[in-house]
């Protein structure tokens, strides 16, 4: 009987110890995640989405951008923070007071354009008017072009104007924005190990065969942090003459 009691006590102590260890591991993971995203329990954050290109309503958002918002909102929730969705046209006139997630390029999201000019002068994102359906993204001396129906690129960046970071997801398509949001959600631990909590970064991701696989087949093309943040602005593209007019929906 005494042996049974000792075994029960030992089992209880082992269970408590295992629970404490697991709780400690979970707490450390949460602390690292909060540090990476600049969030805290109950802290507000902004999700600033670009306007749907074909809608006259300033608050209209593409369905794939909404998917990106859901992914980013889940990140904020996991950190115990609060996510406020704000149309780009209604973005607050302030910077660095809260963590910010900015979705879409300058053509649909003026807030992105402001961030690029102020924080990432080495990046130039062209419009459909300038670059056609390939809408090249220029980072330093590198040029990344979309291959319609085959591949699209997206920049995933973290700028640090203050202790509260600005995350930018700048894709050549709305589907690429969604792919970047999923990449951030799935790889933030690796990114935290590589860049810590206080270093900016800018990555180029490629979405392959989006027509067949949607946002699921994504590869890392490269780290262009130095070129993006070094202050060298890529030259403007020459205006193209076109005898045709784009019809139908943009991706």
| pLDDT tens-place string over residues 34-56 | 999 999 999 999 999 988 766 66
Mean pLDDT of the chain: 84
Output the six-digit token pair for 7.
């075994």
Q: What share of residues in the chain are helix, strand, coil (percent, to 5)? A: 40, 20, 35
- So what's the pLDDT on residue 88? 85
Q: Are 177 and 169 in contact (CB under 8 A)?
A: yes
For 30-39, the pLDDT digits (tens) are 999 999 999 9
- So what's the pLDDT on residue 28? 83
Confidence band for 130, pLDDT divided at 50, 70 and 90: confident
- Does residue 138 sit within a domain? yes
Q: Which residue range forms the structural domain that includes residue 224? A: 40-229
pTM for the model stands at 0.82
- Does residue 223 sit within a domain? yes
Nearest to 169 by CA among 81, 67, 77, 57: 67
Q: For residue 102, what is the domain's CATH number?
A: 3.30.379.10
- Does residue 31 sit within a domain? no
Query: 57 or 4: whose pLDDT is higher?
Result: 57
- Does residue 210 sit within a domain? yes
Burial of 87 (0-12, 13-18, 19+ CB in 10 A): middle
Nearest to 213 by CA among 171, 176, 168: 176
Burial of 217 (0-12, 13-18, 19+ CB in 10 A): middle
Burial of 89 (0-12, 13-18, 19+ CB in 10 A): middle
- Does residue 140 sit within a domain? yes
- Does residue 16 sit within a domain? no
Q: What is the mean pLDDT of residues 3-15?
A: 57
Query: 50 or 80: whose pLDDT is higher?
Result: 80
For 189-225, the pLDDT digits (tens) are 999 999 999 999 999 999 999 989 999 999 999 999 9
Q: Is the dihedral of CA 118, 205, 76, 111 positive or negative?
A: positive
**Could you give the number of structural domains in the chain?**
1
- Does residue 182 sit within a domain? yes
Spell out the alpha helix ranges (H) of the chain: 2-37, 63-78, 110-119, 128-131, 174-195, 210-213, 225-229
- Does residue 250 sit within a domain? no
């Amino acid at each position: 009987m005494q042996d049974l009691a000792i075994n029960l006590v030992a089992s209880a102590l082992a269970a408590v110890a295992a629970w404490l260890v697991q709780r400690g591991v979970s707490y450390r993971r949460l602390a690292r995640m909060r540090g990476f995203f600049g969030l805290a329990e109950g802290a507000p954050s902004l999700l600033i989405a670009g306007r749907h290109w074909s809608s006259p309503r300033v608050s209209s958002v593409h369905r794939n951008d909404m998917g990106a918002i859901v992914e980013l909102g889940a990140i904020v929730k996991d950190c115990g923070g609060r996510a406020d969705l704000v149309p780009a046209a209604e973005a607050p006139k302030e910077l660095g007071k809260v963590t910010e997630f900015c979705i879409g390029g300058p053509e649909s999201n003026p807030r992105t354009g402001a961030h690029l000019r102020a924080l990432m002068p080495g990046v130039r994102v062209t419009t459909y008017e300038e670059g056609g359906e390939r809408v090249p993204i220029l980072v330093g001396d590198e040029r990344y072009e979309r291959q319609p129906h085959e591949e699209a690129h997206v920049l995933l960046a973290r700028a640090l104007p203050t202790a509260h970071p600005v995350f930018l997801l700048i894709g050549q398509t709305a589907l690429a924005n969604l792919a970047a949001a999923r990449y951030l959600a799935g790889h933030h631990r690796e990114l935290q190990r590589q860049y810590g909590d206080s270093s900016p970064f800018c990555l180029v991701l490629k979405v392959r065969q989006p027509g067949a696989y949607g946002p699921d087949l994504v590869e890392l093309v490269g780290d262009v942090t130095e070129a993006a943040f070094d202050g060298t602005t890529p030259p403007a593209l020459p205006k193209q003459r076109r005898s045709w007019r784009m019809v139908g929906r943009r991706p």
